[in-house]
Amino acid sequence: MIGRSPTAALVAAAGACAVLALRIRRREQFKLRGRTVLVTGGSRGLGLALAREVAAQGARVAICGRDPDALDRARTALERIGSEVMAVECDVGDRAAVRAMVAAVSRRLGPVDMLINNAGVIEVGPAETMEVEDYEEAMATNFWGMLYPTLEVIPPMRSQRSGRIVNITSIGGKLGIPHLLPYSASKFAAVGFSQGLRAELAGEGVKVVTVVPGLMRTGSPRNAIFRGQHRAEYAWFSISDSLPGLTVGAEEAARRIIAGARRGDAEVLFPLTARLAAVLNALAPDLTAGLVGLAARLLPDPPSGDTGRRQGKESRSWLSPSWLTRLGDRAARRYNQVAPAEAP
C-alpha cells in the first residue's frame, strides 16, 4: 500500500480542521430568542432594519433616537410583528442620558445582551466649507455616541461572560472619502476603537464585531447635512446611494450584519465594492489615492457665497428626487426617514 505524501496529509488535515471549526462556529452561534437587544439610532434607516431583523428572531428590542415622532412610528411598526419593544428618546452624545437610557432598558427588558451601535450623522461638502462644529458633531454621535453605550454594557456582559457589541462603522473608516471628511474621520476613530476593544475582551465571552458597510439603500441622504453647493452635493450623494449594483438594500445589509454578529465575526465588510476598495487601499495606497483624487475632481466646487448647512430634504433639485433616486426614495419611505404625509 502506497502512503499519502506529506503535502496531501497536510491538505487533508487542514480540511478536517476547517470543517471542525465551521461546526464549532455554528454550534456557538449567539441565539437571539429571549435576549435583549439595544439598537441606537433604531428609529429609522439601517437601525430600523436591524431592529426588525432581531425582532423577527425573537429578541426583546430597545431602540433609541432623538426624534420622538419617528420613534413612535418605529415602535408601532415593530410591535406589529409581535415584538416586545421599548423606545427611548436619547441623544447618544450625552453620556448622562445614555447611562439613564441603558439603566431604563435593563430594568424593563433585562440586561443588554447585544448592543448595536448604529446611531450616526453625515455631513457632506468640500473641506473648506466645513466648520469645526461639523467635526465635533460627527465625533459626538459617530464616536462618543458609540463609546458611551459600550461603556455601560461592558460590566454586566463581563460578569455574565456573554454578549455582543456590534459597531456600525463604514468603508469611510478605512478609506478617506472626499466631501465626507467629518464623517470619515469619526468612522476611522470608530474602527480603531472597535478593533482594539475586541482584542481586550477576547476570552471573556464578549465579542466585538466591527461592521464596515459600503453604500446602502436606507434613505439616509434625506436627513444628512449638506454644505457648499448643497443641491449639487445632495444630488450626487443621493444618486450614489440609490444605484443598484453599487449599493445593497437595507434588509440584506441587516441580515448580513446580524448573521455576522451572531457568529461573533471580527469584521463584517460588504458589499463587494467596499471589499475591493479596502483591499486596493491596503495593497496599493498610492494608486487608491490617485483614483480617489480623480473622483474628487468630479464633485461640486466650493461656492463663492453661502456655505450654510442644509438638510437633504431642503436640497431638492431636478436631479434629485428623480428616476435616478427611485430606489433610495422608496427606502426613505420604507425605513421611516420621512413622515407618512411627506413626499420623498
Write the pLDDT tens digit of every residue in 216-241: 999 999 999 999 999 999 999 999 99
- Indicate whether 278 pLDDT > 90: yes
Quick one: residue 194, left, alpha or beta (phi over 0 = left, psi -120 to 50 = alpha)?
A: alpha
Q: Which of 148, 183, 234, 335 is catalytic?
A: 183
Q: How far apart are the first and last CA of the chain?
A: 73
Structural contact between residues 330 and 37, judged by C-beta atoms closer than 8 angstroms? no
Total residue count of the chain as it appears in this document: 344
Tell me the sheet residues that pair with 217.
249
Domain ranges of the chain: 30-334
Question: Which pLDDT belongs to residue 28?
Answer: 62
Mean pLDDT of 85-92: 98
pLDDT digits (tens, 9 = 90+) for 279-297: 999 999 999 999 999 999 9
Model confidence at 27, in pLDDT bands (50, 70, 90)?
very low
Mean pLDDT of 93-100: 98
pTM of the model as a whole: 0.91
Output the CATH code of domain 30-334.
Answer: 3.40.50.720
Question: Which pLDDT belongs to residue 83?
Answer: 85
Q: Can the peptide bond before residue 68 be classed as cis, meaning omega within 30 degrees of 0?
A: no
Tell me the sheet residues that pair with 64.
40, 88
* 135 annotated active-site: no
Cα–Cα dist 274/268, whole Å: 11
Share of the chain above pLDDT 90, in %: 87
Question: Which pLDDT belongs to residue 3?
Answer: 53
Q: Is 63 helix (H, G, I), strand (E, B) or coil?
A: strand
